[in-house]
Amino acid sequence: MGHPGVLPRRVIEDLEDVAGPHRVVTDPELLVGSLVDWTGRWEGSSPVMLRPRLTSEVAGHLGVLSHHGVPVQFQGGNTGMVGGSVPMGGEVLVSLRDVAGIEEVDERSGQMVVAAGTTLAEVQQTALQSGWRYPVDLGARDTATIGGTVATNAGGVHVLRDGMTRAQVLGLEAVLADGRIMESLRGLDKDNTGYHLPSLFTGSEGTLGAITRVRLRLLPPHDEEAVAMLGFAGLDAAIEAVGQLRRHFDVQAIEIMLEDVLELVVDHLGVSLPLSRAWPVVLLVEAAGTAGVVDRLASVVHDGSDPDEVVVASDRAGRQRLWAHRDAHSVAISTLGVPTKLDVTVPQGRVAAFIGEVREAVVADGASQAWIFGHAGDGNLHVNLTGPEPAGLADHILHLVVDAGGSVSAEHGIGRDKVDWLGACRGPGELQVFRMVKDALDPAGRLNPGVLFG
Ligand SMILES: Cc1cc2nc3c(=O)[nH]c(=O)nc-3n(C[C@H](O)[C@H](O)[C@H](O)COP(=O)(O)OP(=O)(O)OC[C@H]3O[C@@H](n4cnc5c(N)ncnc54)[C@H](O)[C@@H]3O)c2cc1C
C-alpha cells in the first residue's frame, strides 16, 4: 500500500467492482461530514468512503482492502464520544449505515434480527409495535446505529435495571479483516457449546471486524411508566436518596443533573425548569412496570428519598418534557465549544466526594470549567471540561478516578481518547489476551488502527 490517504486507481476499481461505483464515494465534499466526530475534537482524512448495503458487499470490500493491504476505519452513526469513529491515519472509511433494516421479529420468543446500520430509535419503535421493548436507550438514539452500540457496548439510561448492550446481544454476524463472514446468529436461550463469539465482538470497537447483523433480546413492555424530577439543596442528600431509591424500588433510571449544567440546558432549549426554583442538585428518576408503578414511585420519592421538591409525570408528554432536560445535556455543553469528555465510574460511596474533588481541581487549574452530569444509579459521571485545552487537568481527574477504585471509561469505550489509560484499568494478563485476540483476528493491524491499542 502506498502513502496513507492516497489510494491507487486499481484499488478503487477493484472496490467499484464489488457493488458498483456509487458505493465508492471519492468526492471530498460528500466525505467531509464523516471525517469529524460528534464532539468536534477528532478530525481525520480519507481518500474514500465505502457505503455497502449487504453483508456480501461488506465482505467484498474488506476482501479487496485486505488483498491490497489497505487500513480500514469503520463508522456507524458517528455519535461516539472517544474519537474511535473517524479515520485519523488516512484509512479507507467503511460506513455501515446503509447495511440497514429490520430483518425478523420473533414475537413469540422476543427476539429481533437487525442489520447493523439500523438506528437505535427504529429498533426501539419496532420492538414496541411488536408488543416488546428494546431496553437500551441514550440521547443519540435517532442517529446511533445498532452496530455502533454493539461495537461500543453502549450503556445509556437503563443500565441500572436492564444491563448494558452486551446483555441484549444474543447473536451476531461479522465480516472479518480478510472478508470472511462469521455468522453466530442462532440466539438459543441455552447453547453451551464453547466460546460465545457475539460477546467477543460486543465492545470490540471495530478492532476485530465489521458487525453486520445482530440478534437482539427483547424484554416485555411496561404497563405504566412514571418519571420524577427531584430537587435537592445538597449533593450528600441527593446521593443518599439514590441509595434509598435503589433499596426500596426497582427503578430503571436515576440521572443526576447539577444546577450549572441545567442552567445551560434551559437556555439552550428555551424552556423553564419544571421545578419552582433552581436546586443545586436534581435527580431524574424513572420507574416502569406493572399497574400501580406510578403511585408507588410517587410514594417512594416522597417518603423514601427526602427531596426538597418533587414533580412527577406519568403521561407521555409530561415524561418526555422531564427527560428533555437530561437528553439535552451533551448538546447544551457543546454550545460552549469543544469539550474534553471524561466518562468515568466511581464507586457509589465516592460519587459526592469525587464531584467535590473535580471542582477543587478545576478551581486550582484556574482556566477550565467542569460540567458534570451522569447516570447516578450506577456511579457513572460524565465530566466535560471546557475552556482552554486543560493541560494535565484531564489526566489529574482520571488519576482521581483510578485512586477511587473507579474506571476511566464507564460506557463510551476506549477509542483513541483513552488508549494511554487502558493499562490503569486492566491487568497485564488481560492486556496480553487482548493483544493475542487482536493479532489472531487482525494480524496486519489494519482494522481501526489506533483504537483501543494505540
Ligand atoms: C447526545 C449523545 C448522548 C449519548 N449518550 C450515551 C449514553 O448514554 N451511553 C453511551 O454508552 N453512549 C452514549 N453516547 C455515545 C454514542 O451514542 C454511543 O457510543 C453509540 O454506541 C455509538 O454508535 P454509532 O453508531 O454512532 O457508532 P460510531 O460513533 O460510528 O462508532 C463508534 C465505534 O464503533 C465502531 N463501529 C461502529 N459501527 C460498527 C460496526 N457496524 N462494526 C464494527 N465497528 C463499528 C466505530 O469504528 C467506532 O470505533 C451518546 C452520544 C451522544 C451524541
Report which of 181, 38, 66 is spatially closest to residue 116, judged by C-alpha positions.
181
Compute φ and ψ for 433, nearest 5 degrees. -70, -40
Choose one of 74, 136, 341 to mutate for the ligand 1 pocket test, by most ligand atoms within 8 angstroms of C-beta. Answer: 74
Residue after which a domain boundary falls, among 162, 197, 217: 217
Choose one of 51, 81, 182, 326 to mutate for the ligand 1 pocket test, by most ligand atoms within 8 angstroms of C-beta. Answer: 81
Whether residue 424 is contained in a domain is answered as: no
Give distance in angstroms: CA of 144 to centre of ligand 1: 6
Q: For ligand 1, what atom is nearest to the CA of residue 80?
A: 29
Amino acid identity for residue 269 in this structure: L
Residue 2: the pLDDT is 42
Residues 70 and 54 grouped into a single domain: yes
Report which of 223, 220, 219 is spatially closest to residue 314, judged by C-alpha positions.
223
Alpha carbons within 13 A on the beta-carbon side of 158: 16
Residues 172 and 259 grouped into a single domain: no
pTM score of the predicted model: 0.92
Low-confidence ranges of the chain (pLDDT < 50): 1-3
Q: For ligand 1, what atom is nearest to the CA of residue 375?
A: 8
Cell of 208: 476485530
Residues 64 and 29 grouped into a single domain: yes
Q: For ligand 1, what atom is nearest to the CA of residue 164?
A: 11
Whether residue 425 is contained in a domain is answered as: no
What SS3 class is residue 227?
strand
Whether residue 172 is contained in a domain is answered as: yes
Residue 3: the pLDDT is 45
What SS3 class is residue 93?
strand
Residue after which a domain boundary falls, among 39, 63, 98: 98
Report which of 37, 61, 60 is spatially closest to residue 49, judged by C-alpha positions.
61
Output the residue whose Cα is nearest ligand 1's atom 27: 148
Residues 126 and 85 grouped into a single domain: no
Please, which residues have CB within 8 angstroms of residue 39's CB and are 6 or more apart in sequence? 81, 83, 334, 338, 339, 341
Give distance in angstroms: CA of 149 to centre of ligand 1: 5
Residues 369 and 296 grouped into a single domain: no
What's the Cα-to-Cα distance from 2 to each of 7, 8, 71, rounded to whole Å? Answer: 7, 8, 11
Q: For ligand 1, what atom is nearest to the CA of residue 174?
A: 42
- The enclosing domain of 134 has a CATH number of 3.30.465.10
Residues 39 and 133 grouped into a single domain: no
What SS3 class is residue 274?
coil
Element housing 214 (H / E): strand 210-217
Whether residue 438 is contained in a domain is answered as: no
Contact 400/421 with Cβ under 8 angstroms? no
The count of domains in the chain is: 4
Give distance in angstroms: CA of 242 to centre of ligand 1: 27
Residues 117 and 207 grouped into a single domain: yes
Report which of 81, 227, 248 is spatially closest to residue 155, judged by C-alpha positions.
81
Residue 4: the pLDDT is 53
Residues 242 and 300 grouped into a single domain: yes
Residue after which a domain boundary falls, among 328, 346, 371: 328
What's the Cα-to-Cα distance from 87 to each of 20, 202, 248, 356, 415, rounded to whole Å? Answer: 23, 21, 47, 37, 12
Q: For ligand 1, what atom is nearest to the CA of residue 73?
A: 47
Which tens digit of pLDDT belongs to each residue from 313-329? 999 999 999 999 999 99
Q: For ligand 1, what atom is nearest to the CA of residue 137?
A: 8
Give distance in angstroms: CA of 116 to centre of ligand 1: 12
Residues 205 and 253 grouped into a single domain: no
Residues 257 and 208 grouped into a single domain: no
Task: Ligand 1: list residues with CB < 6 Å.
Answer: 38, 74-81, 84-85, 96, 116, 138-140, 144-145, 147-149, 151-152, 154-156, 205-206, 210-211, 330, 411-412, 448, 451
Choose one of 152, 181, 335, 412 to mutate for the ligand 1 pocket test, by most ligand atoms within 8 angstroms of C-beta. Answer: 152
Residue 207: the pLDDT is 98
Q: What is the Cα 319 distance to its own chain's centre?
A: 22
Whether residue 187 is contained in a domain is answered as: yes
Distance CA 269, CA 266 (A): 5
The pairing of strands 92-95 and 72-75 is parallel
Give distance in angstroms: CA of 205 to centre of ligand 1: 9
- Range 324-328, long-range pairs (CB < 8 A, 24+ positions): 324/269, 324/271, 325/229, 325/257, 325/262, 325/265, 325/266, 325/269, 325/271, 325/273, 325/274, 325/284, 326/139, 326/157, 326/255, 326/257, 326/284, 326/373, 327/139, 328/139, 328/265, 328/268, 328/269
Cell 477511587 belongs to which residue? 404
- The enclosing domain of 70 has a CATH number of 3.30.43.10
Contact 451/205 with Cβ under 8 angstroms? yes
Give distance in angstroms: CA of 361 to centre of ligand 1: 29
Residues 59 and 94 grouped into a single domain: yes
Residues 140 and 189 grouped into a single domain: yes
- The enclosing domain of 370 has a CATH number of 3.30.70.2740
The 10 Å CB-count burial string (b at 16+, else e) for 22-48 is ebbbeeeeebeebbebbbebbebbbbb
Whether residue 436 is contained in a domain is answered as: no
Whether residue 420 is contained in a domain is answered as: no
Terminal Cα distance for the chain, rounded: 21
Whether residue 381 is contained in a domain is answered as: yes
Can you name the residues that pair with 381 across neighbouring β-strands? Answer: 344, 374
Please state, as a whole number, how many other Cβ atoms lie within 10 Å of the Cβ of residue 370. Answer: 25
Report which of 209, 187, 127 is spatially closest to residue 136, judged by C-alpha positions.
127
Domain with 271, as residue range(s), is 224-328
Residue 281: the pLDDT is 96
Give distance in angstroms: CA of 419 to centre of ligand 1: 17
Compute φ and ψ for 404, nearest 5 degrees. -80, 0
